[in-house]
Amino acid sequence: MTETLPYTWYTDVEVLAREQRLLFAHRWQYAGHAGQLAEPGSYFTLRVADIPLVVVRDREGVLRAFVNVCRHRGAEVVSGEGRCTTLQCHYHAWTYDLDGSLRAAPRSDSDPDFDPSSLGLRAAQVDTWGPFIFVNADAEAAPLADTLGELPELVREAGLDVHALEFHSRAPYSLEANWKVAVENYLECYHCAVAHPSFSKVVDVSAERYRLDSRPTFGSHFARARNGSGEVEGQFHMIWPNIKVNVMPGQPNLSIGPLVPVDAHRTDGFLDYFFAADADESWVADYLELDNQVGAEDRTLVESVQRGMRSGAFERGRLMLPSEELIGEFQRWVADGVNGHR
């Protein structure tokens, strides 16, 4: 593929609606980290496509996920995050146990046909990779291992034990750009030497040393520090369609987070940062400063692209191969999914 997707696919609300339904609603999404659910009764909420979900640790310590919609009148049962002994809807106080079963519904004893056993919360899937929690709104979808594929092994080969990492911080952000523009910016480093001079001083971004690779469920960059030092090698992975997994060359580290479409022209996201327990604080501070700078530079780029696409000046763009081969693979993945072929 040398031509890009039509630019209208980055601005059309109907295309986004199809993407939400066909690309997101049945896919695994990064939700959060184990530290958020350290104790029984701890929970947090999120949305996948337009589906509200709640993830909770039950009384036996088992992680569970449910569609966060009350079986009574459709209100979202809980919001935010916190600790609870039950999940109680704020509308009419229908109360669910932490296993999703309906525990109580006010005045239900006066309804002879009321059957609480058939009115529990709808289950979703939840699974983990190290401290990383993933959810899938589709209870019948293939397991998380099928989506991760060889990714855990690639990260191990880079010298990183994800189980030894500790959560450090979360960095939320918002972009005035379509989610696909943000993904495609991530999938190439063709722009790095021009747009990210500080990053390019640390990482060798030359075409000869910066390697790209595509797998059925993710696309990868492999990079080395210019000084050749570091305990771990650099890897940057995009799990289709929208989950970023970053390992910066240097000390043990990993950041992970989704790019979430809000509307055709806006994307929200966050990155959860993890480091070794004995991480050098000055190295961590320098890395976070660099990553924040790169993020600001990327925001300028993707928002400029979105404005250009909205202008209607051109119908499509033209990819530069092989430097943008992962964009081509991603666009094929999107087109097949939107057209119902995946």
Q: Report the alpha-carbon distance of residue 234 to residue 246 in Å, rounded.
A: 8
Q: How many CB atoms lie within 10 A of CB 244?
A: 20
Question: What residues are paired with 236 via a beta bridge?
Answer: 221, 246
- What values do phi and psi take at 252, rounded to 5? -55, 125
- What values do phi and psi take at 222, rounded to 5? -125, 125
pLDDT given for residue 341 in this prediction: 66
Query: Vertex 2, ends 147 and 239: CA angle to 5°?
Result: 15
Question: What residues are paired with 257 via a beta bridge?
Answer: 244
pLDDT given for residue 32 in this prediction: 98
Q: Which two tokens stand for residue 187?
A: 């999938």
Tell me how far CA of residue 59 lies from CA of 54, 56, 95, 99, in angstroms.
16, 10, 16, 9
DSSP state of 252: S
Q: Hey, what amino acid is at 179?
A: W
Q: How does strand 87-88 pair with strand 81-83?
A: unpaired
Domains and CATH numbers, the chain: 29-140 (2.102.10.10), 145-338 (3.90.380.10)
pLDDT given for residue 340 in this prediction: 76
Q: Which two tokens stand for residue 277?
A: 């327990």
- What values do phi and psi take at 223, rounded to 5? -140, 155
Each residue's pLDDT, cut to its tens digit, for the chain (342 residues) gives 689 999 999 999 999 999 999 999 999 999 999 999 999 999 999 999 999 999 999 999 999 999 999 999 999 999 999 999 999 999 999 999 999 999 999 999 999 999 999 999 999 999 999 999 999 999 999 999 999 999 999 999 999 999 999 999 999 999 999 999 999 999 999 999 999 999 999 999 999 999 999 999 999 999 999 987 778 999 999 999 999 999 999 999 999 999 999 999 999 999 999 999 999 999 999 999 999 999 999 999 999 999 999 999 999 999 999 999 999 999 999 999 998 766
Distance between start and end Cα atoms, the chain: 18
